[in-house]
Amino acid sequence: MARLDVYANPDATERRHTPYFVDVQNDYIGDIDARVVIPLRREAAFGPRARDLHPLLEVAGEPVVLDTPAIGAVPAAELRKCVGELRDACAEIQEALDALFGAY
């Protein structure tokens, strides 16, 4: 597992509106049983976005919204299917995290 890898949402019922999670945990913290992730929600199902907190990204050709305030931890064992990565969006993701945590 690596920072900014994208995983399919393990909960089939939620996948309709939240198909993915992006791992935002530091790569140097890999020996714990959970990963810190941010949900990636379908743009069409999201509604109004706060510019800094909810950047529009793309996974597998699909526009998705980074729902930064919904950050949380998921057991690493549940993140089974890596479907891509968002390293090219690193600056946007970091800006969203900075907006959330006040690191301006």
5-101 CATH: 2.30.30.110
Of residues 22 and 45, more confidence is placed in: 22
**Structure tokens, 39:** 């949900």
Average pLDDT value for the chain: 93
**Structure tokens, 11:** 């909960």
Query: What is the band of 23 on the pLDDT scale with cuts at 50, 70, 90?
Result: very high
Checking if the pLDDT of 104 tops 80, the result is no
* Model confidence, pTM: 0.94
Taking only the tens place, the pLDDT of each residue in 50-72 is 988 999 999 999 999 999 999 99
